Amino acid sequence: MDAAQVHDRATYLQVAQLHAAAIHQGFLPMLGAEFLALLYQSIDECAESVLFVEREAGRVIGFVAGAKSMRSIYRQMIGHWYRLARALIPIVLKPRHIWRIVEILLYNRADGGGPNLPTYELLSIAVDDGFRGRGVARRLYMRLVDHFHAMDASGFRIAVGSKLDAAHAFYRGMGAVEVGEVEMHQGKNSVIYVHWLQTNRLTAS
């Protein structure tokens, strides 16, 4: 799939559903499928971000999303103001959810683990349970590596929940290195990894 190609709404909904099923430990699934679908549509539409998917029999079985800046994604979401407002109605009734959104925004304005880190970031990656162990995650990750390399990025960072042992093993295996830690939500730390591209470019096998 070409990085410039925009997917359709059915794809965004499938990506949203896969995110909710596979990354259920995070906060975003609590915001609902409609919000997540709009988020991934905005990621796909922005020039500074990208959404790659892998399909089997027409169904999304895995995806990866990355970006240079979340600000352009937020602006794109605001451009869909009616859908955004509709998706946010259940959220604004829950003050705790609003505060967690603020925490995410504050993280994206901060260094995200320290100074001199790459601006580019792997936002999320997920594979359907039934297709794990088939190299789907590795292929998606490598597509993002190649995309960021084509953008002349020095590297990209990844925030990983401190207790997600399988995710830590995956990123280390792909060549990312731990560089620090950040508290994205109160009392919940994430480890920051960086995959440096100029000195450690992988090739898919």
What was the pLDDT predicted at 69?
A: 85
Distance CA 108, CA 78 (A): 17
Give the single-character DSSP code of 91: H
Looking at residue 117, its pLDDT comes to 87
Considering the domain 9-196 in this protein, what is its CATH number? 3.40.630.30
Q: Are 171 and 114 in contact (CB under 8 A)?
A: no
pLDDT at 28: 75
CA atoms within 13 A on the CB side of 101: 13
Domain ranges of the chain: 9-196
pLDDT band at 204 (very low <50, low <70, confident <90, very high): very low
The pTM of this model reads: 0.83
**Per-residue pLDDT reduced to its tens digit, 171-191:** 999 999 999 887 765 557 889
pLDDT tens for 44-86 read 999 999 999 999 999 999 999 999 988 899 899 999 989 988 8
